[in-house]
Amino acid sequence: DAGITQSPRHKVTETGTPVTLRCHQTENHRYMYWYRQDPGHGLRLIHYSYGVKDTDKGEVSDGYSVSRSKTEDFLLTLESATSSQTSVYFCAISESGGGSYNEQFFGPGTRLTVL
């Protein structure tokens, strides 16, 4: 498996609290992604990064922000968590974007429950 870790692996929080999820890679890959996975919806892209300090929105970015200050770390922040953000969050990395024929490697996931 590629060197990708996510922390925490499990988190329970209350509505209205801020939450930060961390993704750390040791592969020196340029691209990093945050997805959420919900039953019936598959994998949906939240935000992605194509370099340090370079980020862009995905299809479900409302209520989420990201930061990438180092190549190896990509943070996902829920400023004020809501119950609709209860999900499994996956981080992924790739050497380049999907148009350049490179596969994505996924982290183990973070299960977030917002009460």
Partner 1 sequence: GQQVMQIPQYQHVQEGEDFTTYCNSSTTLSNIQWYKQRPGGHPVFLIQLVKSGEVKKQKRLTFQFGEAKKNSSLHITATQTTDVGTYFCAGPRYSGNTPLVFGKGTRLSVIA
In the complex, least distance from residue 47 CB atom to partner 1, rounded to whole angstroms: 10
Residue 83 carries which side chain, given as an amino acid letter?
A: S
Q: Does 3 bind partner 1 (CB under 8 A)?
A: no
The angle subtended at Cα 36 by Cα 32 and Cα 38, nearest 5°, is 155
In the complex, least distance from residue 61 CB atom to partner 1, rounded to whole angstroms: 12
User: Is residue 109 within 8 Å of residue 92, measured between CB atoms?
Assistant: no
Cis bond before residue 8 (omega within 30° of 0) = yes
Nearer to partner 1, 79 or 103 (CB): 103
Place of tokens 């770390």: 73
For residue 106 the two structure tokens come to 């996924």
Stretch 15-54: interaction string toward partner 1, x if CB under 8 A: ----------------x-x-x----xxxxxx--x-x----
Residues that bind partner 1 (CB under 8 A): 31, 33, 35, 40-45, 48, 50, 58-59, 90, 92, 96-101, 103-109
